[in-house]
Amino acid sequence: MSPSPKPAPLTTIFSLLALLTTAASTLASHESQHPISSSNSKSNTKPDWHNTPGLPFIINTWGGTFTSATNSAFHYLTSPPPVDSDSNPRLNAINAIVAGCSTCERLQCDGTVGYGGSPDESCETTLDALLMDGDTLDSGAVANLRRVRDAIAVAKLVLLYTRHSLLTGDQATGFAKENGFKEEDSGTRESRGVCEEWKREGCKTGSYRRNNVMGSGEGEGGGGGCGPYVPVPEKELGLDGGLGETKQLEAERSGHDTISMIAIGKDGRMAAGSSTNGASHKIPGRVGDGPIVGSGAYVDGEVGGCGATGDGDIMMRFLPCYQAVESLRRGMTPAEAAEDVVRRMVRKYPSVQSGIVVVDKDGNHGAAASGWTFTYAYRGGQMSEAVVVTVPPVEGVIPLSADL
């Protein structure tokens, strides 16, 4: 009969327990640093971010009068034209964007959408608009549209009846006239009065000129801030080459309140679009971010959509809405995707005014802003009216060494 094995010493047992505890702690630490690589969904401690009210769903930049656009677009999705009408049910989400943006064009929302606002240096109001389909990624847009007030409707014609993505200027006006739109003044007595007063005061605030000296001239401005403009020789532009963010006082900033909108139909089809009259006192011919795919708006029905508003000349350099939707694809929440985009812009332009609203394909939404307090409006599911959300500007700036 063989002897019974001796029990293990207590010191050995304690050593094994300590080793196992250390290994478990190391593994937990590794998983917390790399949550994407973990197959256990319970390891994700991110608070619940789902806030969809259900479909159909409309979301757009800004509250106030802009909620009229929210409600118009939502009404189209919930009460579309009858089947025997001239409309096509496949285009319900697109037509909802048209219904919403055209409402703001008619109401001249905040003076920054539609006719009679944001006159350029020559006192003319021009319009930009964009439409995009979430299934095909087809888009249609107009920019610097002159003497036609229905910008979003003309953008729809570009989308449906051309193979182009963008028409501009007088040629866009000609295209609109070919398709039955009337040519009329896009300015008003009030908008021209604002511009004329600006000229009488010497064009001293809100100018988009830089690296110029003022030559002698006659008439309003008297050769002062209203020109004529003489470019500073390139060799005299200094160590920065005349590039970089212009130092502009807060008081000089004018509105940039583009309406950018995303629609999700009952069938899950998505569309996005925008409409704006641009920036006040812009140089004639200027095209902002609004009609640029991926900047003013973007949508991919497999993932979600985005709308943007703010300093368009800066924002279009980042294609913020394309970036935000791709961040959704990579697993960010709508709020995270919006903040990521804003911080990318703030890193290069600390004082940029921006507002980004992001929604996934299920109607979960979020937003971020910089340089101002931003608002957005949404309505979905069984909601009886639009709700406005206030978004404070982001805090701090990400370091230059951050992995972007």
The end-to-end CA distance of the chain, in Å, is 72
- CA dist 88 and 283 (Å) reads 39
Kindly list the distances between the CA atom of residue 282 and the CA atoms of 120, 131, 189, 251, in Å, as whole numbers in the listed order: 5, 23, 19, 17
Judge contact between 241 and 264, C-beta under 8 A.
no
Beta strand 304-310 pairing with 297-300 = antiparallel
DSSP string, 171-187: HHHHHHHHTTPPP----
Candidate list 52, 70, 258, 276, residue with the active-site label: 258
Asked about 258 being catalytic, the answer comes back as yes
Judge contact between 100 and 73, C-beta under 8 A.
yes
- CA dist 118 and 161 (Å) reads 29
Judge contact between 154 and 129, C-beta under 8 A.
yes
DSSP one-letter code for 81? P
User: SS3 of 165, please?
Assistant: coil
Judge contact between 121 and 281, C-beta under 8 A.
yes
Length of the chain: 404
Kindly list the distances between the CA atom of residue 368 and the CA atoms of 134, 186, 256, 306, 308, in Å, as whole numbers in the listed order: 22, 32, 16, 11, 10
Kindly give, in sequence order, each residue whose CB lies less than 8 Å from that of residue 12, ignoring residues fewer than 6 positions away. none
Helix (H) or strand (E) holding 275: strand 270-276
- CA dist 309 and 391 (Å) reads 13
Taking alpha carbons only, the member of 101, 113, 378 closest to residue 257 is: 113
Q: Which residues are catalytic?
A: 258
